[in-house]
Amino acid sequence: MPLISAPQLRRFAEEILLGAAVPPHKAAITAESLVASNLRGVDSHGIQLLPFYIDQLLAGEMDAQTDGRVVSESGACLLFDGQNGLGQWIADQCCRHAVRIAKQQGMALVTARESNHFGAAAWWAQKMRAQGQIGIVFCNASPIVPPWQGREGRLGTNPICMSVPGPWLLDMATTTVAAGKIFKAFFNHQPEIPPGWAFDSDGVPTTSTSS
């Protein structure tokens, strides 16, 4: 397995994003967040996400040019419209608003709508922690998880993350495992995943990555 330095990997990711017409400052923060996950050993939310983002960008399903906008702000609450923008860029704007408001009000609740996948929630909670705040990040997700005794996806993995100065970090899916870990096993041609991670198309528990 060849080793690639973090700076080289970030630059590689940036150049791919630039090739998909992503503005330089947005390409930089997206690449940085992905490589940071690899450095933490969370490869499921690292560079392996880049092809998904590129596919969305090239298909016109995500708008890298928009900056999003503040819809409303009242006291400690702010609503941000991502306008279908790049998830990492929208998350960065929301973190900045959250830190600003928390320093003024003592706490902040920032909600984003019409955004996209933003990588690992831990990256954003840690950014808020670095500003002396308690960072809490919640996110919905695509409905790929079947409910109890079901076999069709109806629920998301809906991650929860908390980061407290000290430091202390919790970053978890609300399912048995993050979907990205299953994708990672598939991409790495692993024939099996641990029991309890997934169901096949008939709703039967499976350990096969080809089910």
Tell me how far apart the alpha carbons of residues 160 and 120 are, in angstroms, rounded to a whole number: 10
> Token pair 């990256």 is at which residue?
123
pLDDT at residue 120, as a whole number = 96
- Between 191 and 105, where is the model more confident? 105
Q: What is the CA radius of gyration of the chain?
A: 18
Grade residue 93 by pLDDT with cuts at 50, 70 and 90.
very high
Q: Residue 85 contacts by C-beta under 8 Å, 6 or more apart in sequence?
A: 62, 63, 64, 66, 67, 68, 114, 115, 116
Residue range 55-75: mean pLDDT, rounded = 97
Q: Contact 21/29 with Cβ under 8 angstroms?
A: no
Tell me how far apart the alpha carbons of residues 167 and 101 are, in angstroms, rounded to a whole number: 22
CB atoms within 10 A of CB 202: 8
Q: Which residues pair with 208 in a beta bridge?
A: 192
Could you report the per-residue pLDDT of 115-158, keeping only the tens digit for each?
999 999 999 999 999 999 999 999 999 998 888 888 888 999 99
pLDDT at residue 200, as a whole number = 85
Q: Which residues pair with 160 in a beta bridge?
A: 138, 172
Q: Residue 159 contacts by C-beta under 8 Å, 6 or more apart in sequence?
A: 121, 137, 138, 139, 141, 171, 172, 173, 174, 178
All domains of the chain, ordered by start, with CATH?
Answer: 6-58 (1.10.1530.10)
> Token pair 């993995």 is at which residue?
157
Predicted TM-score (pTM) of this structure: 0.90
Mean pLDDT of the chain: 94
